[in-house]
Structure 1
Amino acid sequence: MQWVDEYPRHYQDCVWLDFTFLEGFMRDSLVAAGVPAPDAAVVADVLIESDRRGIDSHGIGRLKPIYIDRIRDGILDPVTRVEVVRDRKTVTVLDGHNGMGHVVAKRAMETTLAKARAHGMGMTAVRNSTHYGIAGYYASMAAKAGMIGITGTNARPSIAPTFGVENMLGTNPLTIGFPTDEDFPFILDCATSVTQRGKIESYARMGKDLVPGWVIDEEGRTRTDTAQVLVDLTLGKAALTPLGGIGEDMAGFKGYGYATVVEVLSAALQDGAYLKLLNGLDGAGNKVPIPIGHFFMAVDIEEFIELDRFKAIAGDILRELRASRKAPGEEHIFTAGEKEHLAWGIRKEKGCPVGAALRKDMETLRKWYDLPYHFPWDA
């Protein structure tokens, strides 16, 4: 397949590192930053799973800037305390008290799955959490359990509403996963914006300009200056466009609408923060905690139909989609979760690609915490 053959070319300037090595480095870095060892293992597992799937925007590249830097800035609590606010037959509300979002989220999905196993369906709403990594990790937990999993989270304001230029909504992924009879589950994990902040961060690490139409300025004009866009997104001088793009002609109102759904379900059910309350800055411009909300849903498939029959039908649908007529010059039609499965097929042999900016971050963490690691690029 051409996609597989061309895949390594995207990482020509990278060093490929073993996943066990990277996971251990992340775990040890987090422990050194004050995260208890069991929690550090959860965070590292979520991050390394992103790298395994080829989702470089949410893996080890976020270890320092999103998690450890925030711990050092005092706006993220390394010791996570999960409080049960409400517990009903099929519903739970949790408060993460500004702890590690991955730890809160995994606890939330485990609770949701237990409710669904007992009653057919379950849902958990979370407030005062923090960034929880790839949403697909939690949808995959449901798929592995033979269930349909749905999750979403709000985030720092990034998206401008259709016909607006002010960043109001987060990138707010609406993520769905379910098992199939294939070698990989169906996992649709994507932002409700045209792109997400993490991908812009990846472009910044690679020194690449943004694609026109991803970001607009205060006059509604498209921007491509990656590094400054990351600054201006926080300052409110730039905004991401919703899924569909600018205006109504390409149906940007649909992405805007879905982002709003995720915002409401990530804030209103749990009496949590929303929109500008998640900006991460106080009135004087000082960094403050970002009290993100999440929601998790699970449906036990066997309450409806035998699990193997569901998997077979789901697999047939996906195979028929991939077998449909292709556009001229196109070799393959993909279904959700397939590229991540193919990426793992490559990466389990080669390892994880580590670019220059990420190598510098790893060296900084090693120095800060005097970690006993030798890197292949050391002089």
Structure 2
Amino acid sequence: MENKSNIVDWETITNFVTDVFKAYGVPEEDAKICADVLTESDKRGIESHGVNRLKPIYLDRIRAGIQNPVTEFEIVKETPTTAVVDGHNGMGQVIGFKSMTMAIEKAKKYGMGMVAVRNSTHYGIAGYYATMATKAGCIGITGTNARPSIAPTFGVENMLGTNPLTFGMPTDEEFPFVLDCATSITQRGRIEYYSRIGKPTPAGMVIGRDGKTMTDSDQILADLTSGHAALSPLGGVGEELAGYKGYGYATVVEILSAALQQGKFLKALTGIGKNGEKEPINLGHFFMAIDAEAFMGLEEFRKTCGDILRELRASEKAPGHDRIYTAGEKEYDVWMQRKDSGVPVNAAVQKEMVKLRDELGLIQYHFPFE
């Protein structure tokens, strides 16, 4: 049961995040996009990428001068079905929103569209952009590279980012099929969340340079930055549990996030300069939209997709389990629980919100946890 005094209603939290971004120099329309992406994460129960990242990921980077509050969205090259965009280290959410919008528009006209992005910043949950496509009757595919975190199979050095490979499919149900997950066993954001709430990282998710597993969340974050720890790819360490599959998919995302748009990759994405100074991370993304109507029709696709998911959920359950889920279902369940209440805010984020309000003079806000 969530503590009601820790829950901030959606209108308040959305307006507050928007106003904070505006106070940091983000134009109003862009600030609304950024706030929508962050709160959407909390609506889906993905706290690791929600409002708790407002200050440490976005505001601190703007303040450090490694992320630009005003986004210069430059189209470097364009064809009827493709585009290359340079984001000039603006707001990743804005770059992502505009890029997927372009991909959808191309798909609606020509059946498919793809936009590749370079020189961007953290764009929030990848599922947000895949869902943009599903709402438009398209299959959505997106991915992004990230700061080096994953060690390749048989290696211990962090080389690849957590590199999500994300798919969204429209269905005839109340929610789309959205598979949004990292190509590592866990993602850096989850470890950041563990650190913020004082929880150890489960054994097996992270290995040190000595090849041994690590569990101290604070130490892991420090060692990931310094290169003395690495995340395990999906499947885990070595070949026995098929870690090479996660390694392979992470590499696919790295290539699509760098090669098409001639962007930065691997160790060039540390965000740390030669003298230890912070510098822009220069991330790459890709966005694909496929119009289901261009095949056998949108409604036919939606029904078949729904039929597949319903059959999966209706299949025989393992002992002790009374429910099988399909991707996007748990997130929809969380939204059903939270839609009339709001977002639960932990103690650390509460302090940050109060401090931001006071520093920025946003005196119109009073939070239930005060």
> Could you say which TM-score interval applies, normalised by the shorter chain?
over 0.9
1:12 Cα offset (Å): 5.3
- Aligned residue for 2:174? 183
- Aligned residue for 2:348? 357
- Aligned residue for 1:284? 275
- Aligned residue for 1:57? 48
8 Å contact 1:14–1:354 — kept in the other structure?
no
8 Å contact 1:14–1:356 — kept in the other structure?
no
5+ residue gaps, structure 1, are 1-7
- Aligned residue for 1:96? 87
Secondary structure (helix, strand or coil) at the match of 2:83 reads: strand
1:350 Cα offset (Å): 2.9
8 Å contact 1:90–1:115 — kept in the other structure?
yes
1:368 Cα offset (Å): 2.4
Match of 2:325 among 328, 331, 334: 334
C-alpha distance in 1, partners of 2:40/2:4?
22
Quickly say closer, same or farther: Cα 1:165–1:12, change in 2 above 3 A: farther
5+ residue gaps, structure 2, are none
Amino acid at match of 1:76: Q
- Aligned residue for 1:375? 367
C-alpha distance in 2, partners of 1:370/1:337?
38
Match of 1:320 among 311, 314, 317: 311
**2:292 paired with 1:301:** yes
Amino acid at match of 1:187: V
- Aligned residue for 2:28? 37
8 Å contact 1:160–1:241 — kept in the other structure?
yes
8 Å contact 1:13–1:355 — kept in the other structure?
no
Amino acid at match of 2:116: A
C-alpha distance in 2, partners of 1:182/1:36?
36
RMSD: 1.1
C-alpha distance in 2, partners of 1:357/1:201?
12
- Aligned residue for 2:246? 255
1:42 Cα offset (Å): 0.5
Secondary structure (helix, strand or coil) at the match of 2:351 reads: helix
Superimposed CA distance per residue, residues 81-136 of structure 1 (whole angstroms, 9 cap, x where no aligned partner): 00010010111000000000000111100100111111111100000010000000
**2:19 paired with 1:28:** yes
Secondary structure (helix, strand or coil) at the match of 1:333 reads: coil
C-alpha distance in 1, partners of 2:115/2:122?
17
State the aligned residue count.
369
C-alpha distance in 2, partners of 1:286/1:344?
40
C-alpha distance in 2, partners of 1:240/1:370?
40
**TM-score of the pair, normalised by structure 1:** 0.96
C-alpha distance in 2, partners of 1:363/1:276?
37
Match of 2:161 among 159, 163, 170: 170
**TM-score of the pair, normalised by structure 2:** 0.98
- Aligned residue for 2:339? 348
1:367 Cα offset (Å): 2.7
- Aligned residue for 1:221? 212
Quickly say closer, same or farther: Cα 1:12–1:159, change in 2 above 3 A: farther
1:201 Cα offset (Å): 1.2
Secondary structure (helix, strand or coil) at the match of 1:133 reads: coil
8 Å contact 2:158–2:229 — kept in the other structure?
yes
8 Å contact 1:158–1:171 — kept in the other structure?
yes
Quickly say closer, same or farther: Cα 1:64–1:168, change in 2 above 3 A: same
C-alpha distance in 1, partners of 2:198/2:257?
33
- Aligned residue for 1:18? 9
Secondary structure (helix, strand or coil) at the match of 2:340 reads: helix
1:308 Cα offset (Å): 1.0
Secondary structure (helix, strand or coil) at the match of 1:148 reads: strand
- Aligned residue for 1:4? none
Secondary structure (helix, strand or coil) at the match of 2:143 reads: strand
Quickly say closer, same or farther: Cα 1:38–1:308, change in 2 above 3 A: same
Secondary structure (helix, strand or coil) at the match of 1:70 reads: helix
- Aligned residue for 1:3? none
C-alpha distance in 2, partners of 1:120/1:330?
41
C-alpha distance in 2, partners of 1:233/1:19?
34
Identity %: 61
Deviant stretches of 4+, over 2 Å: 11-14
C-alpha distance in 2, partners of 1:154/1:348?
31
1:13 Cα offset (Å): 9.5
8 Å contact 2:162–2:184 — kept in the other structure?
yes
C-alpha distance in 2, partners of 1:271/1:297?
18
Secondary structure (helix, strand or coil) at the match of 2:17 reads: helix
1:283 Cα offset (Å): 1.1
8 Å contact 2:206–2:213 — kept in the other structure?
yes
- Aligned residue for 2:134? 143
C-alpha distance in 2, partners of 1:300/1:90?
12
